[in-house]
Structures are given as C-alpha cells and as structure tokens.
Structure 1
Amino acid sequence: MDNIAGQKSGLSWAVNISVVVMVVLWLIPTVGLLVSSFRDRDQISVSGWWQAPFSIEQTYRGRVSTDNPSREGDLYVLTGNIFEEGEATGTLNAFGTSGRAPTQYPAGTVADLGDGATLTIATNGDYRYTTPEEPGGRGERIYFGAETPPDFSLQNYRTVLSSDGMDVAFINTLTVTIPATIIPILIAAFAAYALAWMEFPGRGLLIAAVVGLLVVPLQLALVPLLNLHNKVGIGQSFVGIWLAHTGFGLPLAIYLLRNYMVGLPRDIIESAKVDGATDFEVFTKIVLPLSFPALASFAIFQFLWTWNDLLVAKVFLPSADESKVMTVKIADDLLGSRGGDWGILATAAFVSIAVPLVVFFTMQRYLVRGLLAGSVK
C-alpha cells in the first residue's frame, strides 16, 4: 500500500524540514544585516545582532570637569555627572582611572587615587572628585563601564541615503543592470534554440565550446577585453560594461536555455513545422513562451550578479563620481572613509541588496523549475 500511485511519500516530512532549514540559513545573514543597520557602531562592536534587544555593557571614557571647583577644608572638590558631560547613556556599573583596568572600582565606592585624591561615582553618573592640589586645565581621566539600553535609530539610513552621489549611483546601477540582464537573455534565447532544434555543421563543437567557457574565469578576459574596447572606442563606458556583462553571462545562459529547450515536447515543434511554421515562428510562438521558467531563472542570476558586481564595474566604468554604481560608491566612499563604522557599512549593504531581494522573491517560484529542467539533461 505504500507505493500506490498518488500517495504522498513517507519522506515528505524530511523534504519539508530540509526546505525550512535552507530558508532559515539563507535568511539569518540578511536578518543580521538588517538589525545591524539600525544600531550604532559602538553597540555593534561589543555585541552580536542577536543581542540587540538586550542591554549591553560598554566601556567609555571621560574627564572630570574642572569648572567651578569648591573648597572643603584643604581639599578641592569637583562634582558633576559623567553621562551629561559625554555621549554615554545607561547605568554605571564600575569605574577606574586607567585604560588597563577601566572597571576597577564598583559604582558608589570611594577610590583612593593616591596623593590624597579620591574619586567616587554613583550608578546614575554623579561623581565627586577631591584633591589637595588646585585643579589644572584638564581634569582627571575617568574610565567606566555602563549598562547601555538598546538603541535603534534611522540615523545610519539618513547618512547613507543623503550622502553625496548616492542617488546618482542608484540610477547608474539600474542603467547598468537592466540592459546587462536583457541583452544576454535575448541573444542566448536565439542561440539556445538553434543549438537545440536546428541541424547545421559544427553544432556539437559549439555546444562543447559553450560548456568549456563556463569554467573560464572572467578575470582572464578583463584586460584583453578592455584593450579591445579601447581600440573600438567604447572603453570605460556604459556600452562597454553592457557588452562585458553580456559576454560573461552568455555561456551560462545558453547552457541553461538549451538544456531546457531540448526537453520541450518534440511533437509540438514538429507539428508546427508540418503546418508550415518557420523556425522563427516556432521560436517566438511556441518555444519562447514555454521556456519562460528557464528565462526567469537566468534573469534572477544575471540580475543579482550584475547588481552586486564590483570588479567589472571598476574596470569598465570611469572613476568619476557621475559614473559610479552603488557597489563602487560604497567601496570607495563609505568603506574607504568609514572603515570602522560598521553601522554605516551594514546600512549601505542592506540598501544595496534591497532591490535584488525584491527581484528574487518576485521571481523565485520560477528559479527551481528552470534550474531543475536544465540540470537533468
């Protein structure tokens, strides 16, 4: 009874669990990037994104204010609040006067600093510093650890989206990506149909050449291709990068589409030819509509790769600000000038992948269908 046709397999639960696990593993880094984009640099540096909803302990430093000292006998007394005089917030746990031991003394205790000087800091940040010597221009250095509450804001997004040239870089990325996705699909569709259903000398060699080109690293062709573009007058231009992405994407596109088209029902195509249809009519009216899943699957790959590309954009586009795409803008400006500002980098990365995520979730139902159809040939 277990093998009755139409009955669900007993391993369907394993398939469902595997799919859920893969989806979760794929979403974890995206969720982490999204959460980090709303946090500041200090919180990111001391805790992971999964700890974002909880308070964290951070170490700060400041100075005792030397304004308006008072006298108590032979001692000078300086008071104030360490939180009000700096950028730190939260509840103070411990303090110290050395970077080697920033939390040497618990909050509320009186620390003997030597030479008659003492320091005490309460949990709310109020401090009292006494010294027998008249305070100079710079007060005593204070290190302290504070329990900082979660802090989420849109400041990182304001910084990224309002940075000079980011809007131009977004438009440039669309200008590069859309034609670089459409052009190879158009060329590859015609080539795949010819290799799948048309008989001509050398077809087997062309198929072998396409398969061989799949394993050739694109880095090998960057310099020769750029020299060729310079000779024909399209070097470092949008036309040049369109053709470069087209050339690099064609082998995979032809391979996937040809394998898919070979699996289409032969009776339909032969019947159309018997009725007098030309190869062009068969291609446009029968093969192309039936091949939409394969076309969509490659479009997802090509769009994601082109949108996230940095190397080809650095080689085939001018270095001027008006020609930069988002990946170059982030790498040159945000990453170059803010290498330690992780919040800015996480925000810039998430802004960069927002459009590819929309494209992927919109067309992902075609991805598996198109890939599986071309993988079993």
Structure 2
Amino acid sequence: MTTAQGTAAPRRKAAARPAKWLSRGVIQVFLLLVGLIWLTPAAGLFLSSLRTEEANASSGWWTALTTPGQLSLDNYTSLLKDSGIVQAFWNTVLISVPTTLAVVAIAALAGYAFAWMDFPGRDWIFLVVVAMLVVPVQIGLLPVAKLFGALGLFGSIPGVVLFHTAYGLPFAIFLLRNYFAEIPKEMLEAARMDGGGEWRIFSQLVLPLGRPAIASLAIFQFLWVWNDMLVALLFADNESQPLTVALQSQMRQFGSNIGVLAPGAFLSLIVPLIVFFVFQRHFVQGIMAGSVK
C-alpha cells in the first residue's frame, strides 16, 4: 500500500502540471484579448490621425491595415505648425506637472502629520478633510471664480493650478494618511530612540515606505488634471487654455475637422499612456500593498 500510494502521488503531480499550464495559458490569452480590446480605440485614433480627411470620410480606419500607403505624417506636420495647439500642449504640461507635485508634496506632509503627530484638534480637522470628499467640484466653481477675479488669478495658469490642487488634496490626504498609519509604530519609535527628528523620520523612513502609494496618487492626479476640461474651460483664457479646451474649440469652429482633431486627440492621449506604462510597476505595488494591508 505504501509503495502504491508513493507511486500514485508523483503521477497526480505529473497529471496536474499540464492542467496548470493549460489554465495559465487560458488566463494569459484572456488578458491578452482584454488588452487588445482596450487598446483598439487608441490604435484606431492613431491610424485615423495618419490618414487624410478624405480617406477618413470614405472608409474606416481599419482599411489602413491592408493599404498602408495611405498613411502619412502630414497631419502631425500641420498640427505642429499650429501655434495655438502647441501652446495649448505646453499649457497642459504647465498645469498638470505643478499640480501633481503640489498635491503629492502637501498630501504627504499632511498625511504624516495626521497619522503620527499629536496636535490639538487633529481628529476633528481630519474629519473636515474627509467631509470635503463629498463636495462636488461644480459647487465651488462660481465662488472660486469670483475669488480668483478679485485676486487677479482668473484666466491664468496659476489659477487653474490652485483650483486643481485645492480639490485634489482631500482625497490625497485621506489616501496617504491611511497608508502611513499602517507603518509599524515600533519602527518609528526605534527611529526616535536613535535620535531621529520628525523631518528625518518623514524623509528617510516614511517616504521610502510610502513610495507605492505616493506613485499611485501621482498617476491618478496627473491623469485627472491632464484630461480635465471643465475647470480649464471656466478658469483658463485663450492664452492659458490646455489641450482639451483647444481641441474642443477646434471642434466647435470647424466641425468634423478630423485632420486636426485626430492627431491632437492622439497627442493628448499618448502622454497619459506613457506616464501610466512608465510608472505601472509602482502603481501595481501600491494596489497590492493596499490590498494586503
């Protein structure tokens, strides 16, 4: 019996390997199909941006797969010669990057303070911050517009940056505070016993441990600001409007001008995709760390 059982066990293991490989292959094929479906609109937009307006009007973008001779970079050449679109692109960069850096920096400092520092009214202030999460952006548009008009910030890039920063902070502080609070207390106490001050503990201990959450927050904040049109449509003028508003203006003025809209839309799309794929490792680490904790 012992010998029979001993020989049966390797057979079951050997039989389980093909099943494991098959299930893994099915999952990989499924994920590949999901990825292809997700990327299909981006691929269609890219091919449309390389075709002439007449070709896009007469046939679908998928015909370029069989007749690649219709593809050219003329649309992008014309787009880059459009000073308004180029300026709008750089305005988008000047809005998105400072906003993301400001939100991450302020939220990290506030999150550490709410998690590990004792000061009067800490819990009540944090409740107020959490309560701000339920306030819709639309409620603050008109009051903040009047305030920015009085301060001379209305219709400028700093005004758009300040608005995005203010409305991005409640969620950012809530996220980082909860993540920092999961750091073992003994680790911080040991650092204090070694003579570390609050700033040294924050910069050399908390920030490296919170890198996944900070990276995830930075990705979300950047994507949200880069793709925003509502706030910029109200607070930015013609000189400070981002790419989303510029493309919307092109659509309103010239209708279905696919020769301008397609390359402009793909230019607006490709930057968030690059940011996501570059930082996806940190993003996945933040998701996994949050699920474990």
Bin the TM-score by the shorter chain: 0.7 to 0.9
Q: Deviations over 1:96-131 (max 9, x none)?
A: xxxxxxxxxxxxxxxxxxxxxxxxxxxxxxxxxxxx
Whether 1:51 and 2:52 are equivalent positions in the alignment is: no
Partner of 1:327: 244
Q: Provide the rounded CA distance (Å) in 2 between the counterparts of 1:212 and 1:26.
A: 35
Deviation at 1:165, TM superposition (A): 2.2
Q: 1:39 aligns with which of 51, 59, 79?
A: 51
Q: Provide the rounded CA distance (Å) in 2 between the counterparts of 1:206 and 1:39.
A: 55
Q: 1:368 to 1:155 in 2, by over 3 A?
A: same
Larger Rg over CA atoms = 1
Contact kept in structure 2, 1:253 and 1:298, CA below 8 Å? yes
TM-score by length of 2: 0.83
Contact kept in structure 1, 2:103 and 2:168, CA below 8 Å? yes
Q: 1:165 aligns with which of 73, 78, 84?
A: 84
Q: 1:153 to 1:247 in 2, by over 3 A?
A: same
Q: Provide the rounded CA distance (Å) in 1 between the counterparts of 2:155 and 2:96.
A: 16
Whether 1:369 and 2:285 are equivalent positions in the alignment is: yes
Deviation at 1:348, TM superposition (A): 1.0
Partner of 1:176: 95
Q: Provide the rounded CA distance (Å) in 1 between the counterparts of 2:230 and 2:219.
A: 19
Counting only pairs closer than 5 Å after superposition, residues 1-377 of structure 1 correspond to structure 2 as: 16-17=28-29, 19-54=31-66, 151-318=70-237, 320=238, 322-332=239-249, 334-374=250-290
Count of equivalent residues: 276
Q: 1:19 to 1:211 in 2, by over 3 A?
A: farther
Q: 1:49 to 1:225 in 2, by over 3 A?
A: same
Q: Provide the rounded CA distance (Å) in 2 between the counterparts of 1:201 and 1:290.
A: 27
Deviation at 1:16, TM superposition (A): 4.0
**Percent of residue pairs identical:** 43
Deviation at 1:170, TM superposition (A): 2.2
Once the two structures are overlaid, the 10-residue window that deviates more, 363-372 or 176-185, is: 363-372
Contact kept in structure 1, 2:154 and 2:235, CA below 8 Å? yes
Once the two structures are overlaid, the 10-residue window that deviates more, 288-297 or 195-204, is: 195-204
Contact kept in structure 1, 2:91 and 2:157, CA below 8 Å? no
Partner of 1:68: none
Q: Provide the rounded CA distance (Å) in 2 between the counterparts of 1:229 and 1:54.
A: 54
| DSSP 3-state at the match of 2:65 | coil
